[in-house]
Amino acid sequence: MGSLRFGVLTIWLSVVSLPVAALADDGAAALLPFQGPQASKVRQTVQKGLRVADVPMVPLKRVTATVKKTKGYANQAGKLEASVLVRTRIRRVEGRWVANTEVRDAKGQRVEKLRTSSSSIARLSNRIVGQLMKTGRMPGAAAVTAAEREQEPAPPTQPRIVVRPFTGAQAGKIRGAAVRGLRSEPVELFANKQFVAKARSLGAKLDGDGGHIAPASALAVSGLIEGDVLHEDGVWSAYVRLVDGGSATVISQHFYDANTSAALAKSVQAGVGSDFRKDIKKLGVAVPATVPIVTATAVTPAPAEPTSNQAKAQVKYKATRIKEERPAAVDIEIAFRLVHRDFRYEDDLRGDLRDYKLGVGPGVATKFQYFPGAHFTAGVGAQFGIDFEWERLFNFDSTRADGATFPTESQQFLVGLRWRYPTGRWEPSLVVDYGVHSFRFGVSGPPVPGEDNTAGIPSVKYEFLRIGAGFRVGIGSKEQFIVAASAAFRGVFSVGGIGTVQWFPEAKANGMDAMLILGYGLPKGFEIRIGADYRRYWFDLNPVAPDPPYVAGGALDQYWGFSIGAAWRR
């Protein structure tokens, strides 16, 4: 009996003395049901990605069925024979997908907490897989070991830059824009997480003055990008600075502002690379240095010695105000136009009225929008401006059925106020204009007894109040392609010649217009634009009883236009 007890004790000691690390290699990984929008799709993609990386995985259907029947992470791991449990929560935040992932061991204890984000579900799933592999906790995979994570990076061949966390509202968003803007520059972007880990291993406090010097020297970091984001009086602004990795010196600082956080991010991304390029180049490529680990031993302070002002850290401050991030203050367009007109009566009871059709009439047009506040601010003051349009068809002759010709002219002008709300690449707008649109016929010649020297078609002169809305959007990585559209109602309060006693003195009308423009951006703010537009006026002619000169229930006056021209927007 004694020998039997001894044998059992020996076996028990052998089991409990197995290395804890081996537990991570036994069993498989199980993806618990993910939570949030697109969770099922992300879960399936992560499962496939881990399998490709040779991680043994518990089938998803089995995991789902077990979780429904079993409570508690430890019990679930036991039922699934899994050494690792993974659960992820998906959220949609400001146009980006965000994933918060928890990794638990076979005992149900949380051992890792991960977070990542992306603009697409596919990239988000791939990043989750990458994070899980880097933890070194995935069973049977060629994961990164702790020793490998501790390895120092290879010496840099380009200036090594760390983009530190920004401060203020929307700081993460603006920092991300700075990172994207620096990716195309001749620099090596070093991960801030690794920089922080190195600082901790050296006992350096990054929140203190010069606390970054020790880890920067050890990692051969040439400089750090820091930033502060502000939101005051409706204006978003950011101060972004370059700090020398080997000292507390601010090498340079640049200022950016915009009326929205999205526009500010766009401005930072577009300008940060070129703004800091020369100063980063001056810092050069640093050489890794051996830095002693800071310990908690007592240090006897040396006698204080006077230092000169020159020996103190000097801060070089250079702020550059970026003008490009403000919305355009001026938009001028000159175009060549082709116009087609179709005027038709409705319910012509006597049959003595003539319709009119203009095949194609050439002309010119100009548009002018001016926002004076945009010279000084990106806020509310830059949203209100002046709106002006003018067009004229070249003089031409209209021909009657009997061959008689009549000089014809047409023009339009609009003047009013425009409000816009620039937000990133989009610029929606509202407009209120006073406008006049005329189409007039002259006489064929001097009066001759027995001959009609008039065109037999009434002239029109629409005076109206125009209220409309529209938008402009830049398309493409550099927003070189432009699409603009608008629609407006024309409240007509005068119709011109058709409303006189010779025609329909009680005539009433209203109208509308719509427009679409496609453009292509050129350097220095110039653009090439082509456009199509449609104008429509509808009449209630109201013939005057008892003996009206003409009788018709209504009329429809339509204009189709095509334009091609050049513009300058700055």
pLDDT tens per residue across span 380-437: 889 999 999 999 999 999 988 878 899 999 999 999 999 999 887 899 999 999 999 9
251 and 338 inside one domain:
no
CA distance 372 to 351: 55
CA distance 188 to 73: 42
Which of 60-69, 175-184, 322-331, 423-432 shows the lowest per-residue confidence on average (mean pLDDT)? 322-331
Residue 235's pLDDT is what?
85
| DSSP line for 135-201 | TT-STTS-PPPHHHHHSPPPPPSS-EEEEPPPBSTTHHHHHHHHHHHHHTSSSEEEPHHHHHHHHHH
The neighbouring-strand residues paired with 69 are: none
Residue 550 confidence (pLDDT) above 80: yes
| Contact call for residues 401 and 378 (beta carbons, < 8 A) | no
Contact 173, 261 (CB under 8 A): yes
Nearest C-alpha neighbor of 554 from the set 400, 340, 355: 355
* Residues 360 and 269 both lie in one domain: no
Distance CA(467)–CA(92), nearest Å, equals 37
How wide is the angle at C-alpha 107 spanned by C-alphas 105 and 108, nearest 5°?
70
Q: Look at 130-134, 314-318, 529-533 and tell me which has the smallest mean pLDDT.
A: 314-318
Question: What's the whole-number mean pLDDT along residues 180-200?
Answer: 91
Q: Is the pLDDT of residue 296 over 70?
A: no
Which of 194-198, 301-305, 513-517 has the largest mean confidence?
A: 513-517
pLDDT at res. 133: 87
At which of 123, 147, 171 does a domain end?
A: 147
Same domain membership, residue 367 and residue 261: no
Structure tokens at 84: 């690792």
DSSP assignment letter at 156 = P
Cβ neighbours, 10 Å, residue 184: 10
C-alpha 222/C-alpha 217 separation (Å) is 8
Looking at 147, 170, 197, which one is the last position of a domain?
147
Return the higher-pLDDT residue of 259 and 337.
Answer: 337
The verdict on residue 393 lying in a domain is: yes
Sign of CA dihedral 244, 249, 254, 256: positive
Pairing relationship of beta strands 396-399 and 405-420 according to DSSP bridges: antiparallel
Q: Is residue 552 part of a domain?
A: yes
User: Residue 189, Cα to own-chain centre: how many angstroms?
Assistant: 23
> Which of the four pLDDT bands, split at 50, 70 and 90, describes residue 242?
very high
Question: In terms of domains, do 277 and 259 share one?
Answer: yes
DSSP H stretches of helix in 116-170: 121-134, 146-150
> Would you call the peptide bond into 546 cis, given omega within 30 degrees of 0 as the criterion?
yes
Q: Which structural domain range is residue 207 located in?
A: 157-291
Domain shared by 431 and 499, yes or no: yes
Distance of CA 212 to the CA centre of its chain: 33
> Domain total for the chain?
3
Tell me the one-letter amino acid at 8: V
- Is residue 565 in a domain? yes
Gyration radius (Cα) of the chain, Å: 37
**119 and 245 both lie in a single domain:** no
Give backbone dihedrals phi and psi of 197, rounded to 5 degrees, phi first.
-60, -40
Same domain, 121 and 250: no
Helix (H, G, I), strand (E, B) or coil at 539: strand
Token pair in block for residue 118: 């992306």
- Mean pLDDT of the region 258-266: 90
Q: Among 24-28, 53-57, 82-86, 349-353, name the one with the lowest average pLDDT.
A: 24-28
**Segment (H or E) for 368:** strand 356-370
Q: In terms of DSSP H, where are the helices of 203-255?
A: 213-219
| HSE-CB of 404 using CA atoms within 13 angstroms | 15
- Would you say 221 and 215 are in contact if contact means Cβ atoms under 8 Å apart? yes
23 within 8 A of 105, measured Cβ to Cβ? yes
pLDDT of residue 471: 97
Highest-confidence range of 26-35, 140-149, 254-263, 483-492, by mean pLDDT? 483-492
Give the pLDDT score at 304. Answer: 41
Residue 489 maps to a domain: yes
Q: Are 184 and 137 found together in one domain?
A: no
Q: With 0-12 CB in 10 A as exposed, 13-18 as middle and 19+ as buried, what is 16?
A: exposed
Domain stops at, among 291, 320, 340:
291
Helices 73-80 and 60-69, interaxial angle, to 10°? Answer: 140
pLDDT confidence of 463, banded at 50, 70, 90? very high
Sign of CA dihedral 81, 83, 85, 86: negative
Same domain, 67 and 162: no
CA dihedral (539, 545, 547, 553) in degrees, to 10, reads: 30
Q: 401 vs 245, which has greater pLDDT?
A: 245
Highest averaged pLDDT of the listed ranges 6-20, 161-175, 221-235, 480-494: 480-494
The alpha carbon dihedral of 243, 245, 248, 249 has a sign of negative
Average pLDDT of the chain to the nearest whole number? 85
Beta-ladder partners of 334: 366, 566
Distance CA(322)–CA(279), nearest Å, equals 17
Q: What is the CATH number of the domain that holds 373?
A: 2.40.128.90
3-class DSSP state of 96: strand
Where does the pLDDT of residue 26 fall: very low under 50, low under 70, confident under 90, or very high at 90 and above? low
> Which position has the higher pLDDT, 362 or 28?
362
CB 443 within 8 A of CB 435: no
- pLDDT at site 325: 64
341 within a domain of the structure (yes/no)? yes
Mean pLDDT over 470-484 rounds to: 92
Residue 323 has pLDDT above 60, yes or no: no
| Residue 345, domain member (yes or no) | yes
DSSP assignment letter at 260: S
CA angle, corner 324, sides to 162 and 118, nearest 5?
A: 45
Residue 318 lies in a domain: no
CATH number for 129? 3.40.50.10070
User: Over 90: is that where the pLDDT of 539 sits?
Assistant: yes
Query: Two tokens at 172?
Result: 């993460």
Burial of 109 from C-beta contacts in 10 A (0-12 / 13-18 / 19+): exposed
Angstrom distance (rounded) from CA 262 to CA 231: 12
- Mean local confidence (pLDDT), 294-306: 43
User: Does residue 402 belong to any structural domain of this protein?
Assistant: yes
Q: What is the mean pLDDT of residues 65-83?
A: 90
Please give the single-letter amino acid code of residue 429: S
**Rounded to two decimals, what is the model's pTM?**
0.50
What CA dihedral angle connects 415, 417, 422 and 426, to 10 degrees?
-40
Distance between CA atoms of residues 419 and 415, nearest Å: 13
Same domain as 241, residue 140: no
User: Residue 130: its pLDDT value, please?
Assistant: 85
Residues 31 and 142 in one domain: yes
Hey, which residues does 390 pair with through a beta bridge?
366, 413
* Stretch 469-484: mean pLDDT: 93
Q: Do residues 108 and 182 both lie within one domain? A: no
Mean pLDDT confidence for 109-123 = 89
Task: State the average pLDDT over residues 148-166.
Answer: 82
- The pLDDT, as a whole number, for residue 88 is 95
In which band, very low, low, confident or very high, does the pLDDT at 483 lie, cut at 50, 70 and 90?
A: very high
pLDDT above 80 for 313: no
